[in-house]
Amino acid sequence: MTESYNKAFKNTNFRELLYGLFNILLGVYGLVGVFNDIYVITIFIKIVGVCFIISGFIRLLAGLFKKNYDFQGIFYCHADDIGLYGNSTNNGFMILAWVNYLLLLWANIVDVPSAAIPMAVAVVFSLWTAYGALYRRSRCIIACDDKVIFSKWNNHQVIQFSDIKSYTDSKSFGGYKALDQSGATLFRWSKFWGEGKRFCDYLDSHNINYR
């Protein structure tokens, strides 16, 4: 687990840097080029270009971000290739965004409703995958002896294990939340993390039960 943790959080992710640069170049290409004589479709292309540039910078940030601590314990993080934001899922959605953007650029679409479909797909999945890359690189839970450390970016919330009395669904977060004696939320984690369910199993094994 420590090796995968170091790979995911403590080192520069050059794959994300390459994806980010490629998205920025594609976005600039779409902004400066003239690909369609229909004004509305040209606007669609420019919108996607801006979104690709934004997603590119987000992915650069994800690639460069490193966590600056060295806690010892069991790590329950977003695994590289598991869950909604796992690498395989993210890469598949990113390819889908690229294909639809290139279709918009090069297919000489003349029907505005037909152009709206690849525009929407390219916008949604370029931004979705950029957020997924950043999300995957920025959140982690570490179980250390008598405490749990919830890390978001480089902010580390330390919770004593004895303060966690139960956990339950967090519908607004799409996962779970740990509760104290009064029912107040201590921290949340996503069911879409690769290790999210395993952390539930860890809590169950320590008699901290789902309610």
Q: Per-residue pLDDT tens for 28-82?
A: 999 998 888 888 999 999 999 999 999 999 999 988 887 666 677 777 776 555 6
pLDDT recorded at residue 145: 76
Q: How far apart are CA 157 and CA 163, in angstroms?
A: 13
Domain boundaries, the chain: 2-139, 144-210
Helices (H) and strands (E) in the chain, counts: 6, 8
| Pick from 44, 192, 203: nearest CA to 131 | 192
Give the DSSP H or E segment for 109: none
pTM of this structure: 0.79
pLDDT recorded at residue 69: 63
> DSSP assignment of 173-192, as one string?
TTEEEEE-TTS-EEEEEETT
pLDDT recorded at residue 3: 46
Low-confidence ranges of the chain (pLDDT < 50): 1-4
Tell me if the domain spanning 144-210 has CATH number 2.30.29: yes
Q: How far apart are CA 102 and CA 89, in angstroms?
A: 20
pLDDT recorded at residue 2: 46
